Amino acid sequence: MADQFAASMASVEPGSVPALRWEEPPEGPVLVVLDQRRLPAEEVGLVCTDVPALVDAVRTLAVRGAPLLGIAGAYGVALAAVRGFDVVEAAELLAHARPTAVNLAYGVRRALGAYEEALKDGSGPAQAAAAALAEARALHREDAEASARMAEHGLALLEELVPGGGFRVLTHCNTGALVSGGEGTALAVASAAHRAGRLRRLWVDETRPLLQGARLTAYEAARAGMAYTLLADNAAGSLFAAGEVDAVLIGADRIAADGSVANKVGSYPLAVLARYHHVPFLVVAPVTTVDLGTPTGSEIEVEQRPGHEITEFTVVPPGAGAEPGTGVPVAPLGTQAYNPAFDVTPPELVTAVVTENGVVSPVTRAGLAELCGRSRRG
Ligand code: MRU
């Protein structure tokens, strides 16, 4: 069960919105996630007291974005362990809550591994639960560190690729502090450019159908005081044609071993546009998003979401994932919809992959494997 409460998040300083936090009230530990379905209208925490509530929060995109899904998955395992639920069953449920972002299963595996290791070493359930929680906290911290490193590498790359004045950067979906223990992935690079006085304009794709760009990236950009402009996804072509884009910066949900990038649907058309207009197309993601076990892009499972997200406007509260028939209809009753949550961009359209360990460009199987083999701080 999850109850909702109006958290004190309205007073959070610009740029420091906590996407999730572990709390230990007298009634027992809980995971509180900032309910992203309700942004930007309201900053409300969603209190998850058990794994089914967290799984529902993941499926309905209250908590979302690849790195954050990994962190949430790890805390979810800790939650099950601390509250005495079946940890293996909880891990299974969490790992399969959404299929595309590889970070989710990775985070779950790490916390479960720490839990099982502790039991094997003779610890009791309480100590094993503490080990799972410590692992979730470690992952949370590591993600913040990775985020800072990606921002450094990404800014250096932008400076190399776009010499001269300020950058006009186009981004898609939401890749900032809302998806991370730190400042995020692609948006962390834009934030670093902003702080360095180099961000001339952040072009924000609205990101149909659930509007992660309009609701979340614009919210983060406004809080950070960036110069940003929102556009309908299908306006991107005319923006490129007008010579208004210096670089595209996106995140990733899974990068296959060959460098194919699964990210929010609409990323692939941007890559095609970028190539045609000779604009760098940069993917920013932690190495935990690179899945060397998935050989090529065609093996990446792309999540298919319900058609009513397209045929009805459901994005305003109560939020994405609302029951069919409860939104404002925008198509005739019974219309079939095609609603993949992600698309896959082939490596030849990606100028560079930026990770905390450095940059791969051109994007090759060997280059990616090499980068993933390096220590985190390499
Ligand atoms: O469906 P969502 O909102 O979870 O999709 C998120 C994205 O596609 C992000 O671009 C991706 O997770 C990278 S975030 C660092």
| Residue 46 predicted with pLDDT over 80 | yes
Q: What phi and psi, each to the nearest 5 degrees, are found at residue 360? A: -110, 120
Asked if 143 and 175 touch (Cβ cutoff 8 Å), the reply is no
- b/e 160-184 (16+ beta carbons within 10 angstroms → b): ebbeeebbbbbbbbbbbbbbbbbbb
In this prediction, residue 174 carries a pLDDT of 98
In this prediction, residue 17 carries a pLDDT of 61
CA–CA distance, 17 with 222 (Å, rounded to integer): 13
In this prediction, residue 316 carries a pLDDT of 54
Inter-axis angle of helices 87-95 and 102-120, nearest 10: 170
Maximum C-alpha span of the chain: 65
Distances, alpha carbon 308 to alpha carbons 37, 212, 245, 335, in Å? 16, 17, 33, 9
CA–CA distance, 265 with 301 (Å, rounded to integer): 13
Nearest CA to 378 out of 366, 291, 370 is that of: 370
Residue whose structure tokens are 């109850």:
3
pLDDT average, residue stretch 69-74: 98
Percent of the chain with pLDDT over 70: 92
In this prediction, residue 312 carries a pLDDT of 92
Half-sphere exposure of 223 (CA within 13 A, CB side): 22
Please identify, by atom number, the ligand 1 atom nearest to the C-alpha of residue 250. 10
Tell which one of 37, 174, 233, 353 to mutate to probe ligand 1, the residue whose CB is within 8 A of the most ligand atoms. Answer: 174
* 253 a catalytic residue: yes
Look over the chain and give the mean of its residue pLDDT values, rounded to a whole number. 92
Residue 34 near ligand 1, beta carbon < 6 Å: no
Distances, alpha carbon 73 to alpha carbons 19, 60, 180, in Å? 13, 15, 13
In this prediction, residue 11 carries a pLDDT of 34
Residues 143, 246, 253, 258: which is the catalytic one? 253
Q: Indicate the pTM of the whole model.
A: 0.94
